Amino acid sequence: MRLRQIRLVRCLLAATALGAAGVVGGFTATPRPAAVAVPATAPLDFKLDPVHCMALFRIHHVGAGQFWGMFDQVGGTMTYAEDGRTAPTFDVTVQVESVHSGDDKLDRTIIGPQFFNAKEYETIRFVSTGGEAEGDGVWKVTGDFTMHGITKPVTARVEFTGLAGNPVQKKAGFEATFQVKRSDFGMDWGVKNKALGDDVRLVVGLEGDWTR
């Protein structure tokens, strides 16, 4: 019995040595090749399609309802890589006089000196400065936001909404949401007496055409 145990131990030791040498059952094991890093896809440039872009804003009115308005003249550029491995970049400009509230008289007030003062400050602009992924197709994008002649850093949550087309023509879409304080940009009418909220929520829908 002891002799059989010794022989079994010797067999196990021999099998272990062969396995370490890469030989199993008479065949030499082929080592796996090292993983090769796949390069990121080069970003594509897109020009914003003003027909399919818009910027919505929401503000608290007299401490009661949430009032919505819209700017419908939005232009600029953006870049995006099809593999989604790098954050998109944006340079977006909104024409202030394109505001729509549903009431012509109120529109004139919004673009007047108490608020946007469109005669002196014709545009609102956002230029991205960086970004990091928060999930699949979602980024936290930082940038410089200029309104009423004042520039402040903001952070937007940007969601990729789709890429369509073919090797010749492509369209890409994004939706960005962020919040600013009016008073930070010199528009503080109604803040102290709470006639109009200070916090403004913005939802910006963007669609661009690939520029080859």
63-84 tens-digit pLDDT: 999 999 999 999 999 999 998 8
Query: Do 74 and 50 form a contact (C-beta atoms < 8 A)?
Result: yes
**154 to 99, 141, 177: CA distances (angstroms):** 22, 8, 11
Of the pLDDT bands very low, low, confident and very high (cuts 50, 70, 90), residue 44 is very high
Cite the DSSP H helix spans in the chain.
Answer: 2-20, 104-110
Tell me what percent of the residues of the chain surpass a pLDDT of 90.
77
Within a 10 A sphere around the Cβ of 188, how many other Cβ atoms? 14
pLDDT at 133 over 90: yes
Within a 10 A sphere around the Cβ of 114, how many other Cβ atoms? 13
Query: Do 99 and 71 form a contact (C-beta atoms < 8 A)?
Result: yes
Which pTM value belongs to this model?
Answer: 0.80
In eight-state DSSP terms, residue 42 is: P
d(CA 54, CA 94): 9
What was the pLDDT predicted at 31? 57
